[in-house]
Structure 1
Amino acid sequence: CSGTREGRHVTGLRYLPESNELLVYLDSPSWTQEMTLLREIIRARMERAGAHVDGLVFKTTAPGHTPPATKERLRPATTERPPAPHADLSEAERTEIERQVAPIEDQKLREALENAMRASAEWAKGVQSKKEP
């Protein structure tokens, strides 16, 4: 809800993994009530965007609490990092990673692990290539 009228009243978010809920803190009781009424609409929009939660819980921020300024929270880091070392994998290296993850039945988990293993191998190969003359 960043950049929306409603988003300007959000003072904090917390994911509750044990219940798969999103806890949303708002700046006033009236906004807490408003968002509670819109709970299922918001959850359906999140679902369409690919973010599945079982529920949304809205609470009013404690009086006197001053959240960090939005600009401070969203400001990008000022220090530029050099790009991570990277080297393309050979067909044999890619095939070996695919073979290692093939036994995993869950497609999303298999793809996530394959992507992570590929990125790690590309990084390690890139580091190694920088060490070699």
Structure 2
Amino acid sequence: MKFFLAITMLGIIFGTSFASYGVLAQEATEYKLLQPIPLDGANSAPTDTTTAEPYIKGIFTLIIAIAGGLAVVRIIFGGIQYMSTDAFEGKSEAKTIIQNAIWGLLLAIGAWLILFTINPDLIKFDLTIPPPQ
């Protein structure tokens, strides 16, 4: 079970890391939205057309945020389980839950940090193709 979870997490991290490379060979396509939406936050003006860039960037940010949120929830759950049990087996299981949550949080932060360290443009998801010189 732990092996399956580890493989799944690695697949998600590598899948989101390299998801934009298949798009680089294509020209940016604008989509006509059914309803104008602000893509840069609440203070930006609504737009009628968009490309895939803000969505890919948003999905990547959402995945990192969900991983962090789930890790915090698991740490809280493990802490409650650790405090509420007197059995040695329950305490060791709670410690394992907390350790796994911390490792998952470090893995998610590490994925972002590695991409940012290699090249900060990797997490900006700018999918435009520069013209040949």
TM-score, scaled relative to structure 2: 0.25
Q: Which has the higher strand share?
A: 1
TM-score, scaled relative to structure 1: 0.25
Mark the structure with the bigger radius of gyration. 1
Structure with the bigger RCO (C-alpha within 8 Å, sep 6+) is: 2
